[in-house]
């Protein structure tokens, strides 16, 4: 019925569209259900009636109009999702079998790998099958440009709460733009079947204030 709470303006819009489409679906289901149910009480009047121009006009045009009501907001969303609003930060994410690696090329080309924490090494504060050793750190309320690619097979960089889902394809560079509207952790998983450990290459975003982000990036440059 419902999606996870949104962590970005994009996902909020996607949730609104989901609710809109679901509402139309419920209306159609109730209408058709009522029609089907009424057939049980059919009195077989008009059994020699073979055509009706008026009703055919109505049930041709009505579904067409209904589809337009879904298609136009959907089209609007596609364009909003594709917009890049002056990103303050560009990050590269590279898919591997089976882990992600990140590059912050705006700052002396910082790069690191991000592996899932194995179950036998879990600490009490870790999240089972979802946590990683090195998280992707970003400042909140800022536009991020993410460039995604892969070195071996197709992976998919997916974070449901942020409304981001983009394939990491070998030989291609894909681009997404997003922002977070609060601090916190955002979890995601690879969503292209990429081999034996497909389920074990999660993505974690650590969204922090820009002040702490600068602290973090300075530490990373020192290393």
Binding footprint of ligand CUA on the chain (CB under 6 A): 95, 98, 155, 190, 192-194, 198, 201
What is the CB neighbour count within 10 angstroms for residue 117? 18
148 and 167 Cβ atoms separated by less than 8 Å = yes
Q: Which CB, 91 or 208, lies closer to ligand CUA?
A: 91
Q: Which CB, 136 or 190, lies closer to ligand CUA?
A: 190
Q: Which of 186, 157, 158 is nearest to 173 (CA)?
A: 157
Tokens linked to 66: 């209904």
Shortest CB 165 distance to ligand CUA, Å: 12
Shortest CB 109 distance to ligand CUA, Å: 24
Shortest CB 169 distance to ligand CUA, Å: 11
Q: Which CB, 12 or 152, lies closer to ligand CUA?
A: 152
Q: Which of 156, 176, 170 is nearest to 100 (CA)?
A: 156
Q: Which CB, 106 or 167, lies closer to ligand CUA?
A: 167
Shortest CB 111 distance to ligand CUA, Å: 19
Instruction: Give the separation between CA 13 and CA 18, rounded to whole angstroms.
Output: 9
Q: Which of 169, 170, 164, 127 is nearest to 145 (CA)?
A: 164
């Amino acid at each position: 019925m419902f999606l996870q709470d949104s962590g970005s303006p994009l996902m909020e819009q996607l949730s609104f569209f989901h609710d809109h489409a679901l509402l139309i679906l419920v209306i159609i289901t109730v209408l058709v259900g009522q029609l089907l149910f009424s057939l049980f009480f059919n009195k077989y009047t008009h059994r020699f009636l073979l055509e009706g121009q008026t009703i055919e006009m109505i049930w041709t045009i009505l579904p067409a109009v209904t589809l337009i009501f879904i298609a136009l907001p959907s089209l609007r969303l596609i364009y909003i999702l594709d917009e890049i609003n002056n990103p303050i930060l560009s990050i590269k994410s590279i898919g591997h079998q089976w882990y992600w690696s990140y590059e912050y090329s705006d700052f002396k080309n910082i790069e690191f790998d991000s592996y899932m924490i194995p179950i036998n090494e879990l600490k009490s504060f870790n999240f089972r099958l979802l946590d990683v050793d090195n998280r992707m750190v970003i400042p909140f309320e800022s536009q991020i440009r993410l460039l995604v690619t892969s070195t071996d097979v197709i992976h998919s960089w997916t974070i449901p709460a942020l409304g981001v889902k983009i394939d990491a394809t070998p030989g291609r560079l894909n681009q997404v733009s997003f922002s977070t509207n609060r601090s916190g952790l955002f979890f995601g998983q690879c969503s292209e079947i990429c081999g034996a450990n497909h389920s074990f290459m999660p993505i974690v975003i650590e969204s922090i204030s820009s002040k702490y982000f600068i602290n973090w990036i300075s530490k990373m440059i020192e290393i």
